[in-house]
Structure 1
Amino acid sequence: MTTASLEEQLQPLFDDIDAKLQNIESGVFIQQQDAEKTINQLALLVNECQNKPYASLMQLNIQGTTELCTRFATLYVNVLTDLKHTLSLNSLLVLTKQKRFMSHVFEVSGYGNSRAVLKLLLNKAHERKAKQLTDNPALVRALLLASVGDLDPADLVELTLESTETSALLAIGLLLDRLPLTVTGDAGRTFLLEEYNPYSALRPLDQYRALISNIWMLCSYSTSPKKHEIKKHLNQWFKRVHKAKGIQAKPAGSVRHAGNIDNKPVMVVIAETFKSVHAMYRWYAPMIKRLKRDYYLVMVSMKADVDDQSIGLFDEFIEVPEEEMNLQPVLNQCTPDIAWFMSVGMRSWGISLANLRWAALQAMSFGHPASSFSSEMDLAFVTTRVFGGPGVVNENMLILESEIGNVAEAHKDLKLPPPPVLDDAVVSIAVPCNTMKINLGFITALKEIERLSAKPIRFTFFPNEYGVGHLSTEKRLRSFFPTAVVARRTGYEAYLNMLNQHHLALSPFPFGNATSTIDCMVLGLPVISLIGAEPHSRSDYDILASLGLAEYCVADSVENYVHGVVRYINEPGLLEELRAMVASKQFMDLHQQHENEFSDEMCKALNWAYANQNEVRGPRGLVIEAQGRWK
């Protein structure tokens, strides 16, 4: 389909957004309406523009999108430079929720960025020093507009001089930036994560839920050594919500399940996302099928995040209400013996539930591979290769000895692309990872690979962005790599076809890949990764080592990562040998297996932990090995 035909197809969407923008513009520029009304009108339109079908238009690099983004940016300029109007706390919250969109439209618009407006506001802010941040409206607006990399250290320090609801919201807004690719941005994010904790000032109100959950998960992608510490403070906010709402579990064993005719122990499986087409299903379905032999399995999820096939794996399904912070109806329907969280961090209700004591034994897997830092989480399942040493994660660790390489199920009826015909004059390198995993250190390594390569390199990034966020991400990445391809989100088979057209794939660091590495193995595409200490820095290694590829594909330092990739590119025949070796592993033969040792061992380990709760619920940070226990 050509760009012209796409424009014609999306013309009705453009006309609709155009009409709604005109309505807001009329109120602002003709009727001189107050900023509060404008902010709330923008919020409704922004929400539409970030979802289908409007996001399909907003992600296209065409004149119409640039025009719409410029008009959005102009409205934000009007709101933020109107210093006569005092922003209410509600307006501050609504604008913080729009923060990422605001940043994107400025970058994509005719303005190019928000620097000129930000400089204007900061100059005004510095004219008038105030005891309280809220008494300096220009500084509040500047912090609302700025990305974390736009600010001088002095402005960040001024933010951190108080701990109020206003300062907490402004800090959250700065931490929402998923791609801070500057030295000041990286340093600013580290400073906010490690040195500042205003979150006790946030009242336990539902309207803060999405923002707090967002930075709870986003902190994992930082390069800061103490990046997870913020979770301790955010977890306390969820506990305050529980107290305010009177949410508590019913007495153990007080709920009976009519379907549990064999009187098995009851296990709830917390599924933050588990549709049968999702990567989480591919990883965890084999484990659930095995656990069902020993447990009465109850899945807890929101209806929109599951489907009939995934629900069918369980004995019972409990739906999380749309008002997802109201967990009492869920707790009333089950009093489990074990609660197993396949992940923690992908949904607000999942983080909230992880901070409740619902079952005698509460365990997690690294579906989102980072520690929860919850006082209510007893155990985490870790393989011997993912285990990076004591003290790396907060939970006690059950160390599983089995291989994980063949755990993920293959997509049903998957049509693999034919072997590619590659142009060896240019080295095509895929970077298949979410935007959040890309950081300045990783970009610097890619630039060094490009500099040292004897051949031209073309990077293809797969950031999984949608709407105007895709265009913003494309602009940032192309500022470093002008010839790079930044692929749009697409269906799985189309993604595999694109991925297949590369000589090599690179995994990001410190937050590496798992499912993307499996995808590369399916195609016989070599992946180079960097091993670290945390689970998310070892998932590539776990997969590659299970196939005997660690020696060839896993680096132990950034220097070795760079020089290893360059050696494969520059030494004649070496990359071809690596590609042949990866293809020879015949990963799809393993990938089709439905029974595996890992699922068997996980079930045995869980049975042992359930029978030995006094041992596993001890002080945090215990390392519990298989020998003498479940093996």
Structure 2
Amino acid sequence: MSYSPQELEVLIKQGKFTLVEQEIIYFIENASDKSNYIKLNVPAGMHSDNKDAYEVECNSIVAAYASLIVQMFCNAKYAPSKILLDTFLTHKVVLELLFSLSAWKTTDALIEKLNMLELLKFKKFQFTKKRMYQLHGFLALYCVGSKYRLPWKQLFHIAPELTLIAYQSMLIHGVSLVDKDRNRGFEALLHAAEGLPIIEIKNPEQAKALAHPYFYCSYTTSKNKYEIKKWVAKVLNHNAKRWLERDLYEFSASCDSRPISENPTIGVVLERYTKTHAMYRCYNARLAELSKEYKLVAIIERGEAQDADLSVFDHIEVFEPNEDINSIGCRIRDLEPDIMLYPSVGMSWWGMFLANIRFAPVQAMLGGHPSSSYSDAMDYFIFPGDNLDLDDIQKFTSEKAVVIDNLGIIKQAAVKHDTLTNEMIEDFSKRQPDKEVFTVGVNGVIQKVNATLISVCKEIEIQTTRPIKFIFFSQHKPYSLGFMATKAQLNRYIKNFELVSYAEYVDYLATLSRCELLLPTIPFGGSNSNIDAMIVKRPKLFIEGSGELYTRTDGFDWLQVDMYHTLCCKGTDELLRRAVEIIENQEVLASLQQEVNEKCSLDKVFFDPNLVTDSRGYSINPHVHKIIEIESSKLLEQDLMAS
């Protein structure tokens, strides 16, 4: 940065807006890496080891830039350039975080001051070039936390390209949803997808950001949140012919009629598979079992493959991070898979794209992200174990649910990370709690934490007589924009908390072991966080679910160590009551801790293939057999009808 905020304020008064715009654009773009990290020019003598002073300096600079934006837009002589408006549109998360950390909280006051809400009265004027410029400015400033709701359907008809950029940029979910206004705003954006037109998108690059709402919508409590997934799937399907090269599109269209070979090849799409990730920890044992009967081909991005154990695969197809969907698609076509298997759908832009294109006669998914893909190209949803009733779960998925009776309860089959020793685990479980304060942890990442859970935490503080401290876990770096904004939002609701920035796995477990009680993320649980609770032997309450698959996964995990009924709560009211009881009553806590110590033994928590005598609870082989039988009978029926 060439100028300080104070110098930029002087430049605004002098009318040197181009210089100020350049500095604001530089600031926003440099705050926009994966962790929303702010690269600040720290004053001489100011060091990050002086944490409190450094954080104050960071906050003051952020607030100053929000103020500069307001001052410049309110200057009667200023007309924002297209490049600045485009920067705001494509870096909406940064703008949202900037204002959330300032005294303004949102951009609403600025929008009102500029009388921009008049633009929403569509019948009053035609959208001339001047009006389109004004709409560009309005959409550039509008943020998720706004109290105003936009008519997105009409906006998509008036200015589809501009509206798509604004809409998907706000749905990136880099802003924590612990704040009620932002939680409501985000959910309103998800609801708006119902009835949106199926738009034309020139190239797939413009649609990559749709992967964010396609995935993150699951973390909200809204009943209609999956309208966005349905809309995104329709948009991808509609534009596939435009995006795919002709021969690849024709191959995809012909896959339905191709029979499954006698020795099937299964292409396994690995969006995430590093050794610490839930996809590896929960699915490697299942895929190892599957590899005993079928040829497995891993399809994985190079960055993900570098720290992945891919030993169960017969072939590994690695593509580069910058490869486009046609290049990746041609790689898969040349593999000639009989079945495409997706442990998860939506954890990456390319995974979302591939799941909405047909590359094999049969395509199936697992519950790595436990929600339907809503893709016309996805045929089956595989559910291991026999915990679920077919008629019950089928209504929550657009794919045909594959459930097999008499397999026994679903088994986690979790793999122990190779940096984790038994000595470490024993040390974690024996750590003594802080005698001065009762520590409660929420060990899902902060993206999964919404206003509903924060309300429960706030009530726990009110209803308990003991000093309470909450620990939350952020994916952001310390002193980053995302980290500071989340901390500021938590400060509005929780009196005493610690926000822990991203750490290595063992360090994270060490922090987790400081807690005496763990709370779930709701409504979306997490297998990794449950396994981590078992590793450090800390009781973690959860809410019993009977709806979408994601409401049930916590229960599956605790059922396998016979603690389902001990930790299960019927809803948020019981979760609050149980948490307060455990905190207030030492005998209740001691009894609960003893049960966790006894039941969360390593042989139950981790999968050891040498000790397995019955694979039915975790194996997906029977499900693949059933799918092949169904598809074979379909082809036989078609042949009979043809003859």
TM range (shorter): 0.7 to 0.9
Deviations 1:574-606 (A, max 9, x none): 011101101111431223433352576311211
User: Which residue identity lines up with residue 623 of structure 2 in the other structure?
Assistant: A
Q: Which residue of 2 aligns with 1:167?
A: 163
Q: Which residue of 1 aligns with 2:398?
A: 394
Q: Which residue of 1 aligns with 2:189?
A: 192
Q: Which residue of 2 aligns with 1:429?
A: 440
Which has the larger displacement, 24-33 or 547-556? 24-33
1:20·1:45 contact (CA, 8 Å) conserved in 2?
A: no
Cα displacement (A) at 1:407: 0.7
Residues 191/265 of structure 1: CA separation in 2 closer, same or farther (3 Å cut): same
Deviations 1:395-450 (A, max 9, x none): 21122544444411011141323411113553210011122221222211222222
| Whole-angstrom CA distance in 2 between matches of 1:318 and 1:79 | 51
Partner secondary structure for residue 480 of structure 1:
coil
| Whole-angstrom CA distance in 1 between matches of 2:250 and 2:109 | 55
Deviations 1:595-629 (A, max 9, x none): 35257631121122122226799xxxxxxxxxxxx
Q: Which residue of 2 aligns with 1:475?
A: 488
Q: Which residue of 2 aligns with 1:11?
A: none
- The equivalent position to 2:108 in structure 1, one of 99, 102, 118, is 118
Cα displacement (A) at 1:243: 1.4
Cα displacement (A) at 1:57: 7.2
Q: Which residue of 2 aligns with 1:150?
A: 146
User: Which residue identity lines up with residue 580 of structure 2 in the other structure?
Assistant: V
Q: Which residue of 1 aligns with 2:638?
A: none
Q: Which residue of 2 aligns with 1:244?
A: 242
Partner secondary structure for residue 371 of structure 1:
coil
Q: Which residue of 2 aligns with 1:323?
A: 323
Residues 432/243 of structure 1: CA separation in 2 closer, same or farther (3 Å cut): same
Deviations 1:59-107 (A, max 9, x none): 985244235424543564467557854664x765542331112222333
Partner secondary structure for residue 335 of structure 2:
coil
Q: Which residue of 1 aligns with 2:177?
A: 180
Residues 49/272 of structure 1: CA separation in 2 closer, same or farther (3 Å cut): closer
1:364-383 paired onto structure 2 within 5 Å: 364-383=365-384
Q: Which residue of 2 aligns with 1:228?
A: 226
Cα displacement (A) at 1:335: 1.5
Q: Which residue of 2 aligns with 1:623?
A: none
Cα displacement (A) at 1:195: 3.6
Which has the larger displacement, 127-136 or 350-359? 127-136
1:342·1:365 contact (CA, 8 Å) conserved in 2?
A: yes
User: Which residue identity lines up with residue 278 of structure 2 in the other structure?
Assistant: A
| Whole-angstrom CA distance in 2 between matches of 1:542 and 1:376 | 28
- The equivalent position to 1:567 in structure 2, one of 581, 596, 618, is 581
Residues 93/369 of structure 1: CA separation in 2 closer, same or farther (3 Å cut): farther
Which has the larger displacement, 148-157 or 479-488? 148-157
Is 2:410 the counterpart of 1:410? no
Which has the larger displacement, 57-66 or 372-381? 57-66
2:218·2:225 contact (CA, 8 Å) conserved in 1?
A: yes
User: Which residue identity lines up with residue 397 of structure 1 in the other structure?
Assistant: A
| Whole-angstrom CA distance in 2 between matches of 1:22 and 1:317 | 55
| Whole-angstrom CA distance in 1 between matches of 2:395 and 2:437 | 44
2:108·2:147 contact (CA, 8 Å) conserved in 1?
A: no
User: Which residue identity lines up with residue 187 of structure 2 in the other structure?
Assistant: T
* Aligned sequence identity (%): 22
| Whole-angstrom CA distance in 2 between matches of 1:249 and 1:577 | 61
Cα displacement (A) at 1:531: 2.1
Deviations 1:20-39 (A, max 9, x none): 99999999878542898667
Q: Which residue of 1 aligns with 2:536?
A: 523
| Whole-angstrom CA distance in 2 between matches of 1:297 and 1:35 | 55
Is 2:492 the counterpart of 1:486? no
Residues 27/161 of structure 1: CA separation in 2 closer, same or farther (3 Å cut): same
| Whole-angstrom CA distance in 2 between matches of 1:463 and 1:505 | 16
2:31·2:39 contact (CA, 8 Å) conserved in 1?
A: no
Deviations 1:312-340 (A, max 9, x none): 33111222342333333323321111100
Give TM-score scaled by structure 2 length.
0.81
Residues 500/176 of structure 1: CA separation in 2 closer, same or farther (3 Å cut): same
Q: Which residue of 2 aligns with 1:626?
A: none
Cα displacement (A) at 1:53: 10
Is 2:634 the counterpart of 1:609? no
| Whole-angstrom CA distance in 2 between matches of 1:52 and 1:119 | 26
Q: Which runs of 5+ in 1 are unaligned?
A: 1-16, 256-261, 618-631
| Whole-angstrom CA distance in 2 between matches of 1:127 and 1:145 | 12
| Whole-angstrom CA distance in 2 between matches of 1:611 and 1:375 | 21
Is 2:548 the counterpart of 1:534? yes
Which has the larger displacement, 589-598 or 341-350? 589-598
User: Which residue identity lines up with residue 465 of structure 2 in the other structure?
Assistant: A
Residues 359/598 of structure 1: CA separation in 2 closer, same or farther (3 Å cut): same
Q: Which residue of 1 aligns with 2:559?
A: 545
| Whole-angstrom CA distance in 1 between matches of 2:236 and 2:7 | 39
Cα displacement (A) at 1:484: 0.6
1:62-461 paired onto structure 2 within 5 Å: 62-70=55-63, 72-74=65-67, 76-77=69-70, 85=79, 88=82, 94-108=87-101, 111-115=102-106, 118-125=108-115, 128-129=118-119, 131=122, 135=131, 140-153=136-149, 164-177=160-173, 178-196=175-193, 197-198=195-196, 200-201=198-199, 203-247=201-245, 248=248, 264-307=263-306, 309-321=308-320, 322-326=322-326, 327-383=328-384, 384-385=386-387, 389-399=393-403, 401-414=407-420, 415-416=424-425, 417-418=427-428, 419-461=430-472
User: Which residue identity lines up with residue 603 of structure 1 in the other structure?
Assistant: N
2:149·2:188 contact (CA, 8 Å) conserved in 1?
A: no
Residues 389/298 of structure 1: CA separation in 2 closer, same or farther (3 Å cut): closer
| Whole-angstrom CA distance in 2 between matches of 1:264 and 1:277 | 32
Q: Which residue of 2 aligns with 1:463?
A: 474
1:429·1:505 contact (CA, 8 Å) conserved in 2?
A: yes
Deviations 1:522-542 (A, max 9, x none): 111100011221121111110
| Whole-angstrom CA distance in 2 between matches of 1:37 and 1:239 | 39
- The equivalent position to 1:578 in structure 2, one of 586, 592, 607, is 592
User: Which residue identity lines up with residue 482 of structure 1 in the other structure?
Assistant: K
Deviations 1:129-179 (A, max 9, x none): 453688276665454334333223478898689563333333334433443
1:396·1:616 contact (CA, 8 Å) conserved in 2?
A: no
1:251·1:335 contact (CA, 8 Å) conserved in 2?
A: no
Give TM-score scaled by structure 1 length.
0.83
Which has the larger displacement, 35-44 or 508-517? 35-44
Q: Which residue of 1 aligns with 2:258?
A: none
User: Which residue identity lines up with residue 462 of structure 1 in the other structure?
Assistant: F
Q: Which runs of 5+ in 2 are unaligned?
A: 41-46, 256-260, 636-643
| Whole-angstrom CA distance in 2 between matches of 1:331 and 1:79 | 51
| Whole-angstrom CA distance in 2 between matches of 1:523 and 1:410 | 13
| Whole-angstrom CA distance in 2 between matches of 1:308 and 1:577 | 40
1:385·1:541 contact (CA, 8 Å) conserved in 2?
A: no
